[in-house]
Structure 1
Amino acid sequence: MSDINNLPKAEGEEEVKKNVNHSDNISEENKSIETIPSETVDAASVSEEKSVDTNESGNDVTKNSDNNNDAVLNEIEDSNAEDAEDEGNKDRHTIEVKAYDTMSLETLAIELEKLVKTEKVQAIKSHVESINNEFKDKFQALLDDKKEEFLNDGGNEIDFYYVSPIQKRYKEAYNEYRKKLNDHYQNLEKNLKQNLADKLEIIEELKGLINVEENINTTYKHFKELQERWRVTGPIPRDKYNNAWNSYHHHVEIFYDFLHLNRDLRDLDFKHNLERKLLIIERAEELAEDDNVMRAFRELQELHKMWKEELGPVDKEYRETIWEKFKAATKKINDKRQVYYQNIDKVYDINLVKKLEIIENINAINAQTTNSHNGWQKKIKDIEDLREQFFNIGKVPSKVNESTWAKFKESVRTFNRQKNAFYKDLKKDQYTNLQKKLDLIKIAEDNKNSEDFEVTTALMKKIQSDWKKIGHVPRKDSDKIWKRFKAACNFYFDKLHTTKNAANKESIDAFSNKVTLLETLKNLKPVGDKEKDVESIKEYISKWKELGRVPNDKRYIEGKFNKAIEDFLSSLKMDKNEVEMIKFENKLDTMSASDDNKDLDNERHFIRKKIDEMKSQINQLENNLQFFTNVEDDNPLVKEVHKNIKDHKNALKLWKEKLSKIKEFY
C-alpha cells in the first residue's frame, strides 16, 4: 500500500452525464464562471459515451439517487470545499488539542503564546477559541473573588478595580493572534482571487484543446500539463469552489469524449486512474480497521479529495463498482466515528452529572446557617474545593454547557452574597468592638501612672481580661489599637515591678549575685578527676542556694542555672544515672524554694506514674518471653527482648531512687 504515497494530493471527482450540450448539467452559478457552447463537440464523436448516466462520487445526474441523502458524503464534500480556501487546514489536524478546561490562567496564557509563536495562525482558530473561552470564564471567577475580598475589607463596590499581570500577558498574546489572523486573511483574499483567475484561465485553455489542429499526442501532452497546473494552483474562495471544479471537470469530460478518436491514449489514462483509485480504496479499507477513528476519518477526507480533485474517470464498466466499494469503506469508517462520538457523549454525560452534583453541594452549603467567622472560613474553603473540582472535571455536552455554567455561577454568586452579607454585619459588630477597646485603652492610659498599686493592679488585670473577651475589630485598626493598649499596660506593670524591686533589695542582690555566679559556672572546665568535678559542681549548687531567692519576675535565671549544671555534668564521664540524680537533686532544691509544695507534689505524682509504667512494661516483656518456646537464647528477637527488659529495670531503679530522694523534702 506504499504506492498510495505517490498519488496526487487532491480529493475527489464527479462524473457528469455526457451530452452534446453539457451546459445543462451546470448550475446557474457555474454558468457565471463558464458557459459551455453546445457546438463544442461533434455529436457523432461522442456517441459512444452518451450511455453514461452515473458519476464516480455516487451522484446519478439524471435519476437523483438516494446517495444525495448520504450525510457523511455531504459532510466530506462541505469540508473539502471549505479546505479549498484554507491551505493551512492540514496543520490544524496535527496540533494537539489539550485539556484547556483544566489549565490555570497562567498556563492558558503560556499555551496561547506558544501557539501564536510556533503555529500557522489559520491553523489554531479552534484552539484559540477554546483557550479564550476558558480564560474569560476563569478570570471572571478570579475577578469575583477579588471583588469579594475588596468588599469584605470595607471597600466600596464602585471603587473596585483589579489588574492582573497574567491578564495583561494574555491580552498581548491574543492581540498578536488577531493581528496575524487579519494579515493572513488580507493576503489570503488576494491570493484566492489570483488563484481563481488562474484556474478559470486553465478552463479556457481546456475548452480550446478540441479545436486545435495538431497531433493528438501533442494535444494530450498539453492536456496533462493543464491538469498538473490545476493541481498545483493554490486555494480559491470556497463559494466558487464547486462551480469552478464542476466547470473544470465538465471540460475534462469533453476532452475525454474527444479523445475517443485516439482510444489508446484514453484507455491508458483510464487504466492509470483505475489503478490509483483501487489504491485509494485499499487504503480506505485499511483505515476502516484503524482504532484511531478520528485520524482515519481525517485521512478519509484526503482520500476523497484525491479521488475527486486529482484523478480522472475510469472505464465505464468499473465506475459504479469501484465507487460503491469506496462508499462502503467510507460508511464503515463513519459508523465507527459515530460510535466514538456516542462514547464521548457518554463521558460528557458523566461529567455533566458530576458538575450538577457539585452545584447541588454548593447549594446545600448555601442552605446552611452559619453565624461565626470560623464557620464561614470553613465554608469558604469547602466552596473553593468544589470550584476546583468543577473546573477539573472536563467538558459536558455542548447543548447544556452554557446552562450548566450559568447554574454554577449562580450557586457561587448566591454563596458570595450570603458571605458578603455576613461580613457586612460582622463589620458593624467589629466597629462596636473597636469602640469598646478604645474605651479600655483610655482606662489603661489614664491609670498607667497611678501609684495606688493595690487598686490599680486589679483594675489593669480586669481590663486585660475584658480585652480578650471583646472579639475582633476591623483588620486595619487591629494592630494599631493593640500596640496602644499593650504599651499602656506594660508601662504600668514595668513601673510596678520596678517599685517592688526597689522594695525588695535583698531579692535584687540575690539576682545580681546569681548572675555573677552563673557566668562563673558557664566558664567552669572539668579538671579530669570525676570526684573533684562532682564535688566542685555540688559546691556551686550549695553557693547558689545560699544566695537566696530572686524576684518572681527574675526566676527565669533558675532555669539558666539548671541548664549550666546539666551542660557541665554532660561533659563528665560518669554513670548516666548518677548524673541524672545530681540534676534531679538540684531540680528538687529549686522546687523546695517555693512557698508551697505544689510543684513537689506534682513531681512525686509524676514519678509514681512512671514507676507503674515501668513495672507494667517489664511484666509485658517477661510475658512475651513465654511465647518463645524451643528458641535459642542467641535468637536476635529473644536477645532484643532481654535487652529491653534490662533497660526498663535500670530505668525503674532510677525512678525509685528519685522517689526516695523526693520523700526527703517532706
Structure 2
Amino acid sequence: MSEKDNLHNADGNDIKKKEAITPEKSATNDQNASSDAITSTEKTDTPDAVEGNGNPLEQTTPETPKEEAVTETSSTESDAAESETSSPEEAPAKKKDAQEEIEASNAEDAEDDSNVERHSLEEKDYHAMSMDQLADEFESLLKNKKVQTIKSPVEEIRTEFNSKFSEVLEEKKDDFLSEGGHEIDFFYSSPVKKRFNAIYNDYRNKLNAYYKTLETNLKSNLETRLRIIEDIKGLLNVEENINTTYKHFKDLQEEWRTAGPIPRDKYNNAWNTYHHHVEIFYDFLHLNRDLRDMDFKHNLEQKLKIIERAEELAKDDNSNRAFRELQVLHKMWKEDLGPVGKEHREAIWERFSNATKTIHDKRQAYYADVDKAHEANLEKKEAIIAKIEEVAKDNVSSHQAWQNKIKVIEGLRTEFFNAGKVPIKVNEATWAKFKGAVRTFNKKKNTFYKNLKKEQYTNLQKKLELIKIAEDNKDSGDFETVTPLMKKIQSDWKHIGHVPRKDSDKIWKRFKAACNHYFDKINAERNAANQEQVDAFEKKMQLLDEIKELKLSGNAEQDLETIKQKTEAWNALGQVPQNKRFIEGKFNKTVDGLFNKLELDKSEVEMIKFENKLEHLSQPDDTRLLDNEHHFIRKKIDEVKGELNQLENNLQFFSNIDESNPLVKDVLKNIENHKENLAMWEEKFKKLKELY
C-alpha cells in the first residue's frame, strides 16, 4: 500500500486542503508523488503492500497521460513499496508459515462474517458422551448458535454418534442371529437414533437455506465492490471541482467498507484491484507532502499499537486465543492502515513479524503437547482393550458369573470412552480393535445364553407336562390315588429348573390354579364333614377378641410369656374350615402388633413371629401353604443376595476413598443391613425346611 492510500481514513475526519488541487496543478506538484505509486501486480507477502498482491480483477485503466506514467512504474516499484516488501521475504520460514496461515484464514473470513463466533465455540470431549448426550449437545448447538458456525463440532458429533450406534447395531444383530434369525430379516432402530436423524435433517435444511441466501448476498456484494472500483476509476475523467471529486471518492471508500462479505476466491483480487485504483486516484490528486506526512504519523501510531498488542499476545498462555486475535491484527495492518515513513518500515515490520513468530511457535508447541496427551490416551485405551480381551478369554458356566463379567465389560467400555482422544492416524484402527474385542466377548456371551435358552425350553416342556397332569386330575374324587400324585408333581416342579422368563409367571399360575382347585375341593369336603373345625372357628373368634383387648404390663419377659400362652391356646384349638382361614391372618396381625410393643431385639421378635406363623401353616395332608412360604422365602433370599452383590460391586468404585467419607459410610451401612436381613431370611428358611 503506498504512502498516499487511506489518507481519507487515517484519523476518520475529512481532509481540509488549503487550496483546490486541479489536474493542471498536479502536473507541477511534488515530483516524488508519482514515484511513490505502487501498481505492480507481482505477489508480495507484506501486509502493508497488499495493493501489489495478486492479479487485479480489472487492469484496464483510463487512457490519460497520468495513468500511462503510473503503469510504466509496474516493473520497478517505488522505494516505499520495496522497503515494505523486503522484510517478509528475508524472514525465516516459520514466519512465512504463520503469515500464510493468517492470510488464508482472513480470506476465508471474507466469505463469512461468523468467524469469531465459530472460533469461540467451546471445545468438548464428544468421544466420552453417550448417544443421548450427543443428541442433546447437537440440539443445543442448533438452537443457540448460528448454523454456519457449527459445522466442525457437528461433524465430530455425527462421527461419534454413528460409531456408537454402529456398535449397538452390531450387538443387536449378533443377538438376533444367535436366536436363530436370518440376516436379511434384521432391522433395528431406537428413539435416540430417530431423534438424532431428525435434528440432523433440521440442521441440513437450515444450512442449505443459509448457503442459498449467502450465495445471493456474496454475488450481490461482489457486484457492489466491482462497481465501486469502476466508480473510482471513473473519477479520473469527471470534470468537476477537485474537492467535490475528493468528497465523492471518500463516499465510495465508506461504501466499500460496508459492502459486506464476498467469495473467498475473489477476496485478494478484489482488494488488490481496489487498492491499485485508489493508488492511481491519490497519484492523480498529487496530494502535498504535509498531508502525506500526517498520514504516515497516524499510521505509525496505529501500527505501534498493533505491535504492542501482538507482543502482549505473545505472552498469553492461551495460544489459540492469541492466534485468533493475531489474525484480526494482521487484517487491520493489511486492510485498515497505510504505510509509514520509510525510516520506520523495516523496524516495525520486524517487530510485528517477531511477535507473530512467537505466537505461532507457542501454538505449534501447544499442539505438540496435545499430540503427547493423545499418545498417552492411546496407551490407556490399548491397556483397556487388553483387559477386555482377557475377560473374554475366561470361560464361565453360570448366569451369575456371566452377569458379573458383563458388568466388568460395561465398566471397561465406560473407561475407554472417558480415556480421551487418540492421534487421528490411529483413531480408526483403535476403534476397530476395541469393537473387535467387545464383539468377541459378546459372541461368547450370546453362545452361553443361546444354550441356556435351549435348556430353559426343555424345562418349559417338562413343566407343561406337569400342568397337563394337574389339570386332568383337578376334578378327580379319588383322593387316595390322586393326592399322592399331586404332591409328587409339585415336588417335581421344584426340581426342574428355570424356564424362559416370558413364560414363567404364566405357567406357574396355571399349575398353581390346578393344584389349588384340587386341594380346595378336598378341604371343602373335609370341612363339611368336620364339625370340630367349625367349633374351633367359633372359639378362635372369641379368643381373638380377648387378645385384641389385652393390655401389656410393660415387663418384656412377662409380656412375652403372656403372648406365648395366648398363641399356644390358639394353636390348641386346632384347624378351622378352609373358607374361615382368614381368621389366622387376623390373629397374626394382632399378635404382630403385640410383639412390636415389646422392647426386644428386632431379629428375635421376627423369628418368634415366624415360628408362630409356621405353626399355622402346618396342616396334615396339605403342604400348599408351606410350599408357598418356601417359594416366597427363596425368592426373598435371591433378591437380598442380588442387592448385596450390587452394593459390594458399587463399593469397588470407592477403593481410593477414605471410609470416613459420608457416601462410603452410607454404602457400608447399607451392606451391613442387607447382610443382617439375609441372615434372618436364611434362618427362616432353615426353620421351614425342618418341617418338611
In structure 2, relative to structure 1, the CA distance for the partners of 1:332 and 1:354 (3 Å cut) is: same
1:308 is displaced (CA, Å) by 0.8
In structure 2, relative to structure 1, the CA distance for the partners of 1:265 and 1:373 (3 Å cut) is: same
Compare 44-53 and 229-238 and name the one that shifted more.
Answer: 44-53
SS of 2:351's partner is helix
SS of 2:400's partner is helix
1:470 and 2:488 correspond: no
Distance 1:7 1:114 in 2: 43
1:123 is displaced (CA, Å) by 1.3
List aligned pairs for 1:424-435, cutoff 5 A: 424-435=450-461
Question: Quick check: 1:511–1:551 contact (8 Å CA) kept in 2?
Answer: yes
Compare 451-460 and 409-418 and name the one that shifted more.
Answer: 451-460
1:87 is displaced (CA, Å) by 1.1
How does the TM-score come out when normalised to structure 2?
0.70
User: Aligned-pair RMSD on alpha carbons?
Assistant: 4.5
Distance 2:38 2:306 in 1: 32
1:93 to 98, 119, 127: 119
1:42 to 61, 69, 89: 69
Question: Quick check: 2:388–2:409 contact (8 Å CA) kept in 1?
Answer: yes
Distance 1:113 1:282 in 2: 41
2:542 to 496, 517, 523: 517
Compare 361-370 and 450-459 and name the one that shifted more.
Answer: 450-459
Tell me which amino acid in the other structure corresponds to 1:442.
Answer: K
In structure 2, relative to structure 1, the CA distance for the partners of 1:190 and 1:281 (3 Å cut) is: same
Indicate the residue corresponding to 2:151 in structure 1: 125
Compare 461-470 and 444-453 and name the one that shifted more.
Answer: 444-453
In structure 2, relative to structure 1, the CA distance for the partners of 1:214 and 1:563 (3 Å cut) is: closer
2:331 to 305, 310, 314: 305
In structure 2, relative to structure 1, the CA distance for the partners of 1:44 and 1:176 (3 Å cut) is: closer
SS of 1:90's partner is helix
Tell me which amino acid in the other structure corresponds to 1:299.
Answer: E
Indicate the residue corresponding to 1:166 in structure 2: 192
How does the TM-score come out when normalised to structure 1?
0.72
CA offset digits 1:531-574 (Å, max 9, x no partner): xx99xx899949937964337999997796577468579989xx
- Percent identity, please: 57
2:506 to 453, 459, 480: 480
1:141 to 152, 167, 170: 167
In structure 2, relative to structure 1, the CA distance for the partners of 1:349 and 1:20 (3 Å cut) is: closer
Indicate the residue corresponding to 1:617 in structure 2: none
List aligned pairs for 1:323-338, cutoff 5 A: 323-338=349-364
CA offset digits 1:242-295 (Å, max 9, x no partner): 222222233344455556651112222122111111111011111112222221
Indicate the residue corresponding to 1:653 in structure 2: none
Distance 2:361 2:596 in 1: 84
1:161 is displaced (CA, Å) by 3.6
Distance 1:502 1:338 in 2: 98
Question: Quick check: 2:304–2:348 contact (8 Å CA) kept in 1?
Answer: yes
Question: Quick check: 1:231–1:309 contact (8 Å CA) kept in 2?
Answer: no
Distance 1:478 1:151 in 2: 24
1:55 is displaced (CA, Å) by 6.0
SS of 1:122's partner is helix
Say which one has the larger Rg.
1
Tell me which amino acid in the other structure corresponds to 1:386.
Answer: L
Distance 2:547 2:254 in 1: 101
Distance 2:324 2:405 in 1: 48
SS of 1:393's partner is coil
Indicate the residue corresponding to 1:246 in structure 2: 272
Indicate the residue corresponding to 1:660 in structure 2: none
1:23 is displaced (CA, Å) by 4.4
SS of 2:196's partner is helix
Tell me which amino acid in the other structure corresponds to 1:246.
Answer: N
Indicate the residue corresponding to 1:182 in structure 2: 208
Distance 1:505 1:333 in 2: 104
In structure 2, relative to structure 1, the CA distance for the partners of 1:193 and 1:505 (3 Å cut) is: same
1:437 and 2:455 correspond: no
List aligned pairs for 1:534-549, cutoff 5 A: 541=566, 544=569, 548-549=573-574
2:370 to 316, 337, 344: 344
SS of 1:22's partner is coil
1:51 and 2:79 correspond: yes
Question: Quick check: 2:222–2:262 contact (8 Å CA) kept in 1?
Answer: yes
Indicate the residue corresponding to 2:389 in structure 1: 363
Compare 223-232 and 538-547 and name the one that shifted more.
Answer: 538-547
Distance 1:427 1:158 in 2: 23
CA offset digits 1:396-451 (Å, max 9, x no partner): 22222222222222222222222233333333222222222222223333444455
In structure 2, relative to structure 1, the CA distance for the partners of 1:309 and 1:455 (3 Å cut) is: same
CA offset digits 1:622-660 (Å, max 9, x no partner): xxxxxxxxxxxxxxxxxxxxxxxxxxxxxxxxxxxxxxx
List aligned pairs for 1:250-261, cutoff 5 A: 250-255=276-281
In structure 2, relative to structure 1, the CA distance for the partners of 1:368 and 1:55 (3 Å cut) is: farther
Tell me which amino acid in the other structure corresponds to 2:544.
Answer: E
CA offset digits 1:72-109 (Å, max 9, x no partner): 11111111111111111122123323333333333333
Question: Quick check: 1:274–1:314 contact (8 Å CA) kept in 2?
Answer: yes
Tell me which amino acid in the other structure corresponds to 2:541.
Answer: T
Distance 1:438 1:301 in 2: 79
Indicate the residue corresponding to 2:308 in structure 1: 282
Distance 1:540 1:341 in 2: 85
In structure 2, relative to structure 1, the CA distance for the partners of 1:261 and 1:509 (3 Å cut) is: closer
In structure 2, relative to structure 1, the CA distance for the partners of 1:391 and 1:24 (3 Å cut) is: closer
Tell me which amino acid in the other structure corresponds to 1:42.
Answer: A
1:324 is displaced (CA, Å) by 1.0
Question: Quick check: 2:40–2:73 contact (8 Å CA) kept in 1?
Answer: no
Distance 1:228 1:442 in 2: 97
2:55 to 14, 30, 36: 30
In structure 2, relative to structure 1, the CA distance for the partners of 1:510 and 1:388 (3 Å cut) is: farther
Question: Quick check: 1:510–1:549 contact (8 Å CA) kept in 2?
Answer: no
1:209 is displaced (CA, Å) by 5.2
Indicate the residue corresponding to 2:646 in structure 1: none
2:345 to 307, 319, 323: 319
1:358 is displaced (CA, Å) by 2.1
Tell me which amino acid in the other structure corresponds to 2:59.
Answer: E
In structure 2, relative to structure 1, the CA distance for the partners of 1:44 and 1:362 (3 Å cut) is: closer
CA offset digits 1:20-79 (Å, max 9, x no partner): 87345699972554356896253699899733454647666xx78655972111111111
Question: Quick check: 2:40–2:52 contact (8 Å CA) kept in 1?
Answer: no
Compare 399-408 and 145-154 and name the one that shifted more.
Answer: 145-154
Question: Quick check: 1:7–1:306 contact (8 Å CA) kept in 2?
Answer: no
1:497 is displaced (CA, Å) by 4.2
Question: Quick check: 2:36–2:80 contact (8 Å CA) kept in 1?
Answer: yes
Distance 1:218 1:192 in 2: 31
Indicate the residue corresponding to 1:658 in structure 2: none
Distance 1:263 1:419 in 2: 88
Tell me which amino acid in the other structure corresponds to 1:34.
Answer: Q
CA offset digits 1:173-220 (Å, max 9, x no partner): 222221121111111111112222222233334445566677766665
Distance 2:328 2:82 in 1: 23
Tell me which amino acid in the other structure corresponds to 1:438.
Answer: L
Compare 486-495 and 327-336 and name the one that shifted more.
Answer: 486-495
Question: Quick check: 2:38–2:81 contact (8 Å CA) kept in 1?
Answer: no
Gaps of 5+ in 1: 1-5, 10-16, 596-666
Distance 1:555 1:219 in 2: 115
Distance 1:509 1:300 in 2: 101
In structure 2, relative to structure 1, the CA distance for the partners of 1:566 and 1:125 (3 Å cut) is: closer
